[in-house]
Chains A and B, each alone.
Chain A
Amino acid sequence: MAKLIFLILTLIPILCTSFSPDKPSDRRILVLVDDFAVKSSHSLYFKSLQSRGFDLDFKLADDPKIALQRYGQYLYDGLVLFSPTIERFGGSIDAAAILDFVDSGHDLIVAADNNASDLIREIATECGVDFDEDYTAMVVDHAGYAVSSTEGDHTLIASDDFIKSDVILGSKKIEAPVLFQGIGHSLNPSNRLVLKVLSASPTAFSANPKSKLTSPPSLLGSSISLVSVIQARNNARILISGSLSMFSNRFFNSGVQKAGSPTKHDKSGNEQFLTELSKWVLHERGHLKAVNVKHHKVGETDEPSIYRINDDLEYSVEIYEWSGTTWEPYVADDVQVQFYMMSPYVLKNLANDKKGHYFTSFKVPDVYGVFQFKVEYNRLGYTSLSLAKQIPVRPFRHNEYERFIPAAYPYYGAAFSMMAGFFVFSAVHLYNK
């Protein structure tokens, strides 16, 4: 836990140095496998990555020559761990090196399986995902299994409980259930960055499929997560799956029928689900940038160095989303700006012109001090935007107050009539005889 806090603390100041900010998608990906047979048995998944322009470098996980960085420079932008049984990586890679890799803004895909090694479990735990501690346990679902004439132990699960997020899973609905066979995990409730993408059904449980349940299973029902994602504070993204076979060609191509459901799908949802998810993890979707932050008084165009209380001002910012190849305008109606000093004085939704330009106008509060324009945009699946711009606000100057107050006219009238009287009196007093 302490390590996790440390991790998060160290993440904050580190900028994504790996990818150029102009092109946030990963390019070079290291794939570590237990055996090169995975390359062939999971080729559809790898092919979908390669066809999208990723440069995959396959290595055995215990290859003594593998390295993530050389001379302080990372050699890869992403890492795929398809080696659930590995006890020790070859070369200079260990769990800490992988976490450092993530700390510096790189992405990670981890697939475990029902004999996942301690090393893989440790990496997952550091990311806020706790696999079932029972090494023989698998996720079993006697009501939500995939109907199969050859697999009768109900460890092959057809799950369709997806996270409701278009940015993570794409805008096209995944019709067919996803086949899953492997171990379940739970999410650490104190970790706010980890999200359940694919959950088990309420009838599922995690236990050894060969033995009867004598004590309540540690993981049960829809609290079991089958596939989870994490977006770190530095926008590094991590995918953790309890099943390696769900990435395989066999599952990609197999048909699926969920128990109790009359519809039989010719093709499981695995390919769509995992391809869309990989687009998210590898920053082809949901990566935002904000540029051209501007603010000025209404009717002016230049940015002032200071505002006076009760000024009317206009604020605008441009937000774009990376589509994998270009920056597209981001359209949403929930971007908010705060005028902030210790706490927000003004919090306002920004209007947008559907071309990525967001704007609003408001009156500066009648409190002076040093304020900030803040845009804190944290949405499910999107990289977080955090913009802050400092601006002081001053009170009225002495001559900026109201001059002619009707309520004060009697006082003015008294004073001026007194002065006129004085003038008349002085003339009369001097020259009267």
Chain B
Amino acid sequence: MARNLAKFLILFYTISICNAVTNPTPISDSHRSAALQLFDGSSSSLEESYEALRVFEILALENKPDSSVTACQKVVENLGSSSSLKDLFYALKVNGILKCKVDRGVFQDIASRLQATVNDASALVDMYYTIGSLVLIKDQAPDVDVLLADADGTFHSIKALSQSDGRWRYSSDNPESSTYAAGLALEALAGVISLASSEIDQSRVNTVKSDILKLFDSIQKYDDGTFYFDEKFGSGREHQGSLSTSSSVVRGITSFAAVTSGKIDLPGDKILGLAKYFLGIGLPGSAKDFFNQIESLALLESKRVPVPLVLSLPATVYSLSKKDQLKVTVNTVLGSAAPPLTVKLVRAFHTDAKDSAVIEGKELQYDQSSGLHVMGFPDNVDVGTYVFVFEMALHDSGSENDYAIGGQIHVPIYVTGIVKVSNAEIAVLGSDLGSDETQKTLDLAGTDVVSLSANHLQKLRFSFQLTTPHGHAFKPRQALLKLKHETKYEHIFVVGNTGKKFEIIFDFLGLVDKFYYLSGRYDIELTVGDAVMENSFLRPLGHLELDLPEAPEKAAHLPPLPVDPYSRYGPKAEIAHLFRAPEKRPPQKLSLTFLIVTLLPFIGFLVGLLRLGVNFKNFPSSALPATYAILFQLGAAAVLLLYVLFWLKLDLFTTLKALGFLGAFLMFVGHRILSHLASTSAKLKSA
């Protein structure tokens, strides 16, 4: 948990370079607007109402949502009935802020009830709520008798739960000790002292003080000087996060410090570290965390412990071109003004040259009107990243123990400026370096581009110079030259430097393999950028027509390039089916003409028959053969008609069926008429 939190916090709240201490800024207006968002007046329980009211009180918010009527109603309800200790406690806390109309008698009842039970409670939490409620009644109704008769005994029974390492147990039958409980216990003990009818034995108070110091021994620490309390992983009770644990301890020690006369010798750097921890959380998203953060910060500022003073810089990025001044503010954690003090810049050094200081021992001017400590940058500060080391000194040396100011504070500072880019040259050289075949100068501030061409035996040289505003050589973090082939394949080169001059020479003979033997157009782009360079740029320089030899068989192939996602989706082209073209046919007229031609022989046949003078004298004259002859001719006509029908509408099966019947009939009548005709002609012959 602690390990994860540490990582987490380092992730989110510290953007630091070179072990510099982070500089959290005090509570500001962003907290106020966040508070209004988080506590929107829709609190359901008294605890939540109290948290909202307390936050509004601390932040002194003007336009807070007014929920005092409903809250007071709840307070009166809870005070009147025999509600749980926790509800009673928070009802009294809300009442302390809202000052609802509550009868003195009600307080009297509660006080007597609580006084009776205070020594019965065995659990720390119950004692905490009982004593806390009594203290609140004492504040709200001073004439009610709330004093504890056996304060010593109560004190002892709470102290009995303490552990040797300064932590407390929740109850006597629970062996687990907790830091959160220590905070509750300290607050309860402070309550007992203020409620005691007679003075508590000073030696007992002193043992508690040493317990507090022991508790501070178990404080956790980040590398950046932030301190916090955390619960050792325990099972059983609900786990408290480090924020609520730290805030509980802060509540405990501040209330204990308030009631004891003697000093508790709390280490100032740890108090400052705790303040940094609470500030480092930034803007918490939950109401509970917000309350814990704000209340703890308010308590740290309440002068019961050394008041932490926070040195913060409104900006850590300064521009030389805008002639910015170094500005430092010193505030208390809640953002109110610090006592008169001097801020001294002990040392300032470049991050690359830690040993040689650029500025040493300089006091910042205090500007009364803006409340800022300011200093102009001396001339020897060039662009770059620096670490400034500050120190605070209070004017009133007597109050040194009242404030926690910490030691030296390291702040990373970026000094930015405009870097001059000059003398840019691009040239294609012959195979020996001496002969410049095409040399072109470029104005890198402009937009002009060059077009070059080269083959694999030639070289390309590109050079430029970078100078800082103070005329020194400047080496940017990013000086990259990009060659981009038509196929979108990119080659990236770092441009190296000697002094001011940056130069890169491409020997294409050695690069053919790297270029995958791809000839064609390469676009050249130069990127120069640095954190302290205000005019970082990406600039197309032009293009190079490169003629490389054919790739040998074993050469590596171009790795796959990412596909443009937009082209992968989208509709496909429509496809329509191509139908088979119908066969070519002669024109209808031609067919009809040929139809007439095919009918001509039949007509000729009929005309020939008439010319020959056909007769039907052989037609049988007797009735039966004549009937057969007619039937036979009708049958033959029916078969032929069937064939016509077959063409017009019938299918093969119907036709064959009909033909079967007709055929049998035709055979019968055909046989009859043919045999009749045959016998007639035989008679004729024999006659």
Contact = CB atoms under 8 A, between A and B. Distances in A.
Interface stretch (A69-77, A212-220, A316-324): A212-220
A214 B496 CA distance: 8
B12 A410 contact: no
Contacts of A296: none
Contact of B480 (A43, A141, A205, A419): A205
Contacts of B586: 407
A403 to B, nearest CB: 8
A380 B566 contact: yes
Nearest to A83: B4
Contacts of A250: 12, 282-283
Nearest to B589: A406
Contacts of B563: 189, 192
B490 to A, nearest CB: 8
Contacts of A185: none
Given A410-B597, A432-B618, A153 B538 contact: no
B314 A431 contact: no
A311 interface: no
B443 to A, nearest CB: 19
A38 B8 contact: yes
B633 A142 contact: no
A217 B527 CA distance: 13
Nearest to B677: A430
A406 B585 contact: yes
Interface in B576-595: 576-577, 579-580, 585-586, 588, 591-592, 594-595
B661 interface: no
Interface in A405-433: 405-414, 416-428, 430-433
A44 B640 contact: no
A284 interface: no
A300 B493 CA distance: 69
B285 A43 contact: yes
A102 to B, nearest CB: 20
Interface string B526-540: 010111110011100
Given A419-B640, A428-B609, A36 B537 contact: no
B685 interface: no
A189 B562 contact: yes
B599 A417 contact: yes
Nearest to A426: B636
Nearest to A310: B579
A215 B480 CA distance: 10
Contacts of B536: 142-143, 203
Interface stretch (A14-22, A287-295, A345-353): A345-353
A143 B285 contact: no
Given A149-B317, A152-B532, A344 B575 contact: yes
Given A192-B568, A424-B609, A143 B595 contact: no
Given A142-B533, A410-B594, A37 B475 contact: no
A151 B15 contact: yes
Interface in B262-293: 281-286, 289
Interface stretch (B113-121, B173-181, B461-469, B643-651): B643-651
Nearest to A410: B594
B615 A142 contact: no
Interface stretch (A4-12, A241-249, A263-271, A274-282): A241-249
A34 B575 contact: no
Contact of B414 (A113, A153, A418): A153
Given A34-B7, A378-B569, A152 B284 contact: no
Contacts of B285: 39-44, 47, 249
A417 B602 contact: yes
B570 interface: yes
A374 B569 CA distance: 17
A40 B478 contact: no
B500 to A, nearest CB: 16
B477 A420 contact: no
Given A379-B570, A406-B588, 15 more contacts: A37-B9, A41-B12, A115-B7, A142-B533, A150-B316, A152-B385, A152-B413, A220-B492, A334-B571, A336-B571, A348-B574, A403-B647, A418-B602, A422-B640, A431-B629
The 8 A-B pairs with the shortest beta carbon distances in the complex, nearest first, are A43-B285, A142-B529, A152-B414, A149-B315, A410-B594, A417-B602, A142-B536, A433-B617
Interface of A: 34-44, 47, 60, 62, 84-85, 113-115, 140-143, 148-155, 163-164, 187, 189-190, 192, 195-196, 202-203, 205, 209-210, 212-217, 220-221, 223, 244-245, 248-250, 253, 310, 334, 336, 338-339, 344-349, 363, 365-367, 378-380, 398-399, 403, 405-414, 416-428, 430-433
10 contacts: A40-B286, A113-B11, A143-B537, A151-B316, A189-B560, A189-B561, A220-B482, A347-B575, A349-B574, A363-B579
